[in-house]
Amino acid sequence: MSYSKYRSSKQGRVMSKAIQVTTATFEEQVLLAEQPVIVDFYADWCGPCKMLSPVLEQLATEHTEVKITKVNVDEEPALAERYRVRGIPYVAVFRDGKLASQVVGYKPKAALEAGLGLNGAP
């Protein structure tokens, strides 16, 4: 289930490329996806999560081969528990339905790409 979420910025309004997923849509959107999927486990109240959003948007633009999804841990605690999310932001990459890599905490773009194995050509 895709959504068009707009957030305010100094440059104006920017449309999010991320897909909000829930427990009901996680299997279809993430585990059964043919391409690699980045899952951003976040909460609305989390400052570092808000800082990470534009970095993920940039990754979505530069790495079009990767799907970007978001899971609100307050609304989907079962997913957070299933993937042992202990701190947020928690960003995971799923490949072929399996957890391939993860990064905990805010990271700049280059560190996030390296940690998630996205160093290859965009």
Rounded to the nearest integer, the mean pLDDT of the chain is 85
Examine the residue annotation and report whether 49 is marked as an active-site residue of this protein: yes
Sequence-ordered list of residues with C-beta below 8 angstroms from that of 43, at least 6 positions apart, any chain: 49, 72, 73, 74, 88
Examine the residue annotation and report whether 46 is marked as an active-site residue of this protein: yes
Distance CA 61, CA 13 (A): 16
Structural domains of the chain ordered from first start: 6-115 (3.40.30.10)
Q: Which amino acid type is present at position 42? A: Y
Which of 64, 66, 82, 65 lies closest to 22 in space, CA to CA? 82
* Mean pLDDT, rounded, for 108-118: 88
pLDDT in tens, 35-93: 999 999 999 999 999 999 999 999 888 888 899 999 999 999 999 999 999 999 999 99
pLDDT at res. 70: 97
pLDDT at res. 29: 97
Global pTM?
Answer: 0.82
Q: Which of 14, 19, 46, 99 is catalytic?
A: 46
